[in-house]
Structure 1
Amino acid sequence: MFQSLYGRLAAVLMGVFVAVGGLTLLASERMLETERLLELASHLILGALAFSLLAALIVFRLLTRRLRALCVAIEAFRDGGFAAPLRLAVPVAAGDEIDRLARVCVEMSERIAGQLDAQARAEACRRELLANVSHDLRTPLASMQGYLETLLLKADSLAPEERHGYLQIATRHCERLGKLVGDLFELTRLEAREVRPNLEPFPIAELAQDVAQKFELQAGNAGLRLQTTIPPDVPAVPADVGMLERLLENLIENAMRHTPAGGVIGVAVAADGEAVELRVSDTGRGMAAEELAHVFDRYYRVDRGEAADAGHAGLGLAICRRIVELHGGSIRAESRPGAGTCFVVRLPVAAPRLSAG
């Protein structure tokens, strides 16, 4: 009862009432002994009023002290731009209404400060994203414009081979621009949760084999060897086939881009307890530990020295991470400088279907 503000106030008022009652009894005894009844009554009334006023001031002081401290803290929180949360000594468990109010204010200030900090980080990322997008869009556009203007100005003086070469270069820049716009559109939809995977059990081993075969010719032309390790007893996973195909394509393309000629690209699938583990590895230069922490960030590009990485936008791995998250799995990168890189994807195994009857 005395933990609430009402109980404490009632206890104080009860004490005041008992004190005033005691004074009244003492004064009543004196009234019987003297004949100055009117004088004593007036003294008693004035004393009771003075005592009640003093007690009320003390109670008011005790009750408003914490409210004043809370008010000062909230004003400081406001004047500081809502950046630093309130710092108040508030009881963790029990307390009266003022303690509970202070505790709620502290929690609200932490939430507000956290949201403002997250908003500031998101704004910084947005500005960086716009700057990177502008740069990556401007480069192929400027190249295409330059070659097309050259064709228009020197159409009569250029040899057919030169015109064909200019058109090929402009076409490559156009393809690069289209891929960048497509990646941006896909990543935006994935992060905005506009796309939901159509989950159905299917054998990921067969998909990995099919995607690897699709890249065999491209890998051979780049002087790379594509090696698959896919056992026949890998369980099915509940996933969207189109999304996982895009995941595998991005990982294999990333591995090929960072592997010099003569290297090996590995694609392996294996069961691991209640999950299926997919590994895509390369024999490139690898990455340092500080680079691994940001490898899945949008527009983060590790400088690994490969010429094939020039102009790469750095969105493929961010798309991979979002696809894996939508499937309830996990993705990580393992790498050391000089030892290549391996991306490991873990997906939950599909629940066995109950047979009818």
Structure 2
Amino acid sequence: MCYINLIAPEHQYHKASNIDDTEVMPRRLSFCQFTIMSPDILEVEDTHKHPIFRHNQFSWPTEDNPFCIRYYVGVPLRTPDGFYIGSLCLVDHQPNKIDDTAREVLQMLADEVISSFELKAAKAELEAMNKEKDELIRIVSHDLRNPLIGVTGFAEILRDELDDDQHKEMASIILQSGEATLSIVNILLSSDYVKNETLRINRKVCDVAEITQGILTLVRPLSLLKNQRLEIDMPETLSWKVDVEKWKQIVGNLLNNAIKFTPDEGTVRMKIYAADEKTLKLEIADSGVGMDSEQLKNLFSGRKKFHRLGTNGEDTSGLGMVLIKKYTDLHGGNIEVHSKPGEGTAFTVTLPA
């Protein structure tokens, strides 16, 4: 019978076996604990004659378990950096002995076991690196999207309002270039990058009102294109401890979505205020198309089947809502949503001090 065992400070774990056996056992009862202390293959031809193994309960049959270990041979499993992690062993119910060829085969098998462990570790490391790469692509792409929307929005307004043909052509070039770049960003965002991510937060005291004014500069063109009324209620200054970039994403994405899903000549309202010394409130409501219960249930899932187009056919990736939820959670806050089909949607984000 063959085992692959891993040794821990208090236990031995059977990772593979050709019999149905206990998966975990106390290390003090383990034969393999002696194997990892041996520089070479450990062979015990007859456990009943061994000064240590003869006292082990598994060397003798019992009424409940007639099988006993009379013969044991184990090869230590040693990692390339010198750590002994367990053993590959063979046992028999009667005394035995292996020849040099069998010893070589056992050592080769033990080397293969270590190689397999190393391969799994390398695979896990590559998967982690690939996840970080996807994370970088996703965040950079999404952070590029909102400024590009502002650029293309203003370019379209300029093109439509300018009388000079030369300047109109320049505005058209800006618009076309922005739309081409935005298309590339949307392709990146359309990939299934929305996975669990290892995001970090860097909170610092800043003027969230001033930061939000910069966001409004970017999203206002979108509202103007749809002749919407954008109502803003916030103090001139408001100091709070937030991660600046993540705050921009929370506010920018909520405003973008409100504008997208509100029809022409509709209304989008935003209010930011300190409810008390320990609570910051961000409220964004619209008079848009609203959502049904199924859409609300899956709003933060990022699943493509629940993605929708805006009232004027604006594209959405679904990533924005996922990031809003993640960034709010990272701040230790929460987000509430109230919506009904045809009656608009209202978001309330609450962040602690």
TM-score by length of 1: 0.45
**Which structure has more strand as a fraction of its residues?**
2
Larger Rg: 1
